[in-house]
C-alpha cells in the first residue's frame, strides 16, 4: 500500500487561495479527522464541502473541500483537495496538521509520478508537468541550500552525526561480534543518546515553529495624523479581503492583528487598534508612538491629507520613514493639494482617493512592485522547505519517542537500531546528506577490524 501524501498544489504566495492536495487510500479518512462540517466519509465523489480545518478544538482555517474518489482522479487514487483561504500561515498550518495525522509530505512531482505510475496521464502530459517540476525542484534546492547554511543546519547535522556514530558502532558489534575490545553499545547507552538527541531536536523544532521562518508575511503599519483617512484606507483594503482577514486570537495589541492578502503579498497588520478606534473617537497617535511602530514594521504606509499642509510631526515621521520600506499615501486627491511635494523628495509616493477603487489599485500595485514577485517566491520556497523540514523534524522526534518506548519495553539493540536508522534517514532528508554507504564507511574509518 502506498502512503497517503499531501502537498501544497498551488505556488505559495501567488493567488489568494491555495490548494492542498491529499492523495492515497487514507486521504478521505485523514481529512475527515481534521474537518468540521459534514462527514466526508459519506460524501459522494466529485463533490465540494464547506467547513473548517481544526487542530483539536481550534479552528485553523475556513475551507472548501473537494472529495474525489478513485479512480476518476488526478492520481487514480482517492484525492481530497482543500481550498485554503487563510494565506500562507493557515495553509502551512493545515499541511502540518495533515502530516501530523498520518500523511506523508509529497516529494516534488510525486502527484504526477503517481498519476503516471497509475496510468492516469500519458507521456506528453507528463513531460509537460515534469518540466515544470524540474524547474521547481531547482528552486527548491537553492532555497533549501540557503536555508541550511545557518546554525540550525549545523545543529541537525551534529545530531545526525551522533546517530551515524551510534549506528556504525552497533553495526560493528553485530558484524564483528567477537571484537570485545570495541565497547558494546548497550540499550542503556542508546537510551542516553536518544534522550539527548531528542532534547536538542525538540529545541530546534520549537525554535523553528516560533521563529521567523513560520511567521512569514510583511509586518505593516498604517500611520498618519487623525482624520487623514487611515481607517478609510484600511476599510477599502479589508473590503477586498473580506474573507481573508482573520483576527489572531490571543495576540496582544502590539502584535499582528490581521492579515491582508494583496494578490499573494501577505501584509501582517500591526496595531490597527488605534485606527479602528478613530471611527467613533478621535485618538491622536503621537510622534513617539509612531516612531515605535516604524521600528517594528517592515512596511510603513504613511497616510497624508492632500488638503492639508505638512506639520512638523509629519515631517519628522517622513524623515524616519525614508530609511525603510515605505509608501507615502496621499489621500483625498479629489481635493485641492496643499502639500509641498518638495518635502517628499526621495520618498515613495502614491496618490489615492479612498472613494475611487481605481486609485486604490495604484497603491496595491506599488506594494506588489516593492516586494517583487521573484523575491516573494524565493521567500515562500524557503518557507515551504522549512515547512517540510519541520514536518520531517516532527517525524524524527516521533520516531525517537518510539525508540524510547521500545527501550522501556526492553527491546533488544538490534530492533532499536532499525528505528535509529529511520531517524538517521529522516535527518538526512532534512540536510540532504543521507547516503547508505556512509555508515559502512564510518564503520571502517573508526573501528579497528580484521581477520
| Residue (of 267, 260, 324) closest to 290 by Cα position | 324
Q: Pairing relation of β-strands 104-105 and 5-8?
A: parallel
Which residue in 178, 280, 323, 358 binds another protein (CB under 8 A)?
Answer: 178
CB under 8 Å to 256, separation ≥6 — which residues? 217, 219, 248, 268, 269, 270
- At closest approach, how far in Å is the CB of 439 from another protein? 6
Q: Give me the numbers of helices (H) and strands (E) for the chain, helices first please.
A: 14, 13
Q: Which of 58, 175, 273, 398 lies at the binding interface for another protein (CB under 8 A)?
A: 175
Q: How many CB atoms are located within 10 Å of the residue 237 CB?
A: 23
CB 107, min distance to another protein, A: 6
Contacts of 46 (CB under 8 A, 6+ apart): 66, 67, 68, 69, 72
Residues pairing with 259 in the sheet: 268
Q: Are the C-beta atoms of 291 and 317 separated by less than 8 Å?
A: yes
Determine, following the binding rule CB under 8 A, whether residue 439 of this chain makes contact with another protein: yes
Whose CA is closest to 265, among 87, 387, 136? 87
Applying CB under 8 A, among 38, 107, 157, 200 the residue interacting with another protein is 107
User: Minimal distance in Å, beta carbon 448 to another protein?
Assistant: 4
Residue 328 contacts residue 350 (beta carbons within 8 Å): yes
Number of residues that bind another protein (CB under 8 A): 50
Window 384-413: contact mask with another protein (x via CB under 8 A): -------------------------xxxxx
Is 180 or 358 the residue whose CB approaches another protein more closely?
A: 180
User: What is the dihedral sign for C-alpha 23, 29, 33, 35?
Assistant: positive
Among 112, 290, 382, 431, binds another protein (CB under 8 A): 112
Q: Which of 350, 346, 264 is nearest to 302 (CA)?
A: 350
CA atoms in the 13 A half-sphere facing the CB of 447: 27
Cβ-based nearer residue to another protein, 137 or 219: 137
Q: Which of 24, 87, 109, 217 binds another protein (CB under 8 A)?
A: 109
Write each residue from 230 to 259 as x if it is in contact with another protein (CB under 8 A), else as -, in one continuous string. ------------------------------
Which one, 249 or 445, has the nearer CB to another protein? 445
Of 283, 227, 225, nearest to 253 by C-alpha is 283
Contact string 126-145 vs another protein (x = CB under 8 A): xx--xx-xx--x--------
Q: Looking at 47-55, 148-156, 174-182, 337-345, which segment touches another protein (CB under 8 A)? A: 174-182
Residues of the shown chain interacting with another protein in the complex, contacts defined by CB under 8 A = 1-3, 107-109, 112-113, 116-117, 119, 122-124, 126-127, 130-131, 133-134, 137, 167, 171, 173-181, 409-415, 418, 435, 437, 439-440, 443-444, 448-451
Amino acid at each position: 500500500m502506498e502512503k497517503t501524501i499531501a502537498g501544497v498544489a498551488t505556488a505559495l504566495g501567488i493567488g489568494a487561495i491555495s490548494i492542498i492536495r491529499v492523495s492515497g487510500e487514507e486521504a478521505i479518512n485523514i481529512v475527515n479527522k481534521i474537518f468540521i462540517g459534514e462527514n466526508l466519509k459519506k460524501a459522494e465523489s466529485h463533490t465540494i464541502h464547506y467547513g473548517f480545518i481544526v487542530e483539536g478544538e481550534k479552528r485553523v482555517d475556513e475551507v472548501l473541500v473537494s472529495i474525489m474518489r478513485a479512480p476518476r482522479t488526478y492520481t487514480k487514487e482517492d484525492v481530497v483537495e482543500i481550498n485554503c483561504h487563510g494565506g500562507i500561515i493557515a495553509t502551512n498550518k493545515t499541511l502540518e496538521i495533515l502530516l501530523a495525522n498520518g500523511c506523508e509530505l509529497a516529494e516534488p512531482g510525486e502527484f504526477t509520478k503517481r498519476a503516471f505510475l497509475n496510468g492516469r496521464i500519458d507521456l506528453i502530459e507528463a513531460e509537460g508537468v515534469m518540466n515544470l517540476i524540474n524547474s521547481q525542484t531547482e528552486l527548491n534546492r537553492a532555497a533549501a541550500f540557503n536555508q541550511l547554511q545557518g546554525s540550525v543546519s549545523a545543529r541537525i547535522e551534529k545530531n545526525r552525526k551522533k546517530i551515524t556514530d551510534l549506528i556504525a558502532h552497533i553495526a560493528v558489534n553485530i558484524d564483528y561480534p567477537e571484537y570485545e575490545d570495541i565497547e558494546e553499545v548497550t540499550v542503556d547507552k542508546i537510551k542516553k543518546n536518544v534522550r539527548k538527541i531528542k532534547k536538542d531536536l525538540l529545541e530546534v523544532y520549537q525554535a523553528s515553529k516560533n521563529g521567523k521562518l513560520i511567521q512569514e508575511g510583511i509586518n505593516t503599519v498604517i500611520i498618519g495624523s487623525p482624520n487623514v483617512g487611515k481607517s478609510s484606507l484600511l476599510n477599502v483594503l479589508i473590503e477586498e479581503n473580506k474573507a481573508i482577514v482573520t483576527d489572531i486570537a490571543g495576540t496582544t495589541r502590539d502584535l499582528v492583528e490581521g492579515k491582508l492578502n494583496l494578490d499573494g503579498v501577505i501584509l501582517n497588520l500591526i496595531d490597527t487598534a488605534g485606527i479602528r478606534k478613530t471611527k467613533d473617537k478621535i485618538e491622536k497617535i503621537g510622534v513617539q508612538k509612531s516612531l515605535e511602530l516604524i521600528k517594528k514594521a517592515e512596511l510603513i504606509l504613511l497616510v497624508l491629507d492632500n488638503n492639508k499642509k505638512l506639520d512638523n510631526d509629519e515631517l519628522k515621521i517622513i524623515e524616519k520613514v525614508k530609511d525603510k520600506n515605505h509608501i507615502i499615501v496621499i489621500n483625498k486627491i479629489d481635493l485641492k493639494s496643499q502639500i509641498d511635494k518638495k518635502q517628499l523628495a526621495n520618498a515613495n509616493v502614491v496618490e489615492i482617493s479612498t472613494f475611487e477603487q481605481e486609485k486604490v489599485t495604484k497603491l496595491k500595485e506599488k506594494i506588489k512592485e516593492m516586494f517583487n514577485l521573484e523575491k516573494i517566491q524565493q521567500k515562500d520556497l524557503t518557507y515551504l522547505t522549512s515547512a517540510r523540514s519541520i514536518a520531517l523534524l516532527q517525524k524524527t522526534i516521533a520516531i525517537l519517542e518510539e525508540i524510547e518506548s521500545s527501550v522501556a519495553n526492553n527491546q533488544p539493540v538490534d530492533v532499536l537500531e532499525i528505528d535509529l536508522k529511520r531517524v538517521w534517514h529522516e535527518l538526512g532528508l532534512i540536510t540532504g546528506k543521507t547516503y547508505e554507504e556512509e555508515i559502512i564507511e564510518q564503520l571502517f574509518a573508526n573501528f579497528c577490524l580484521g581477520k
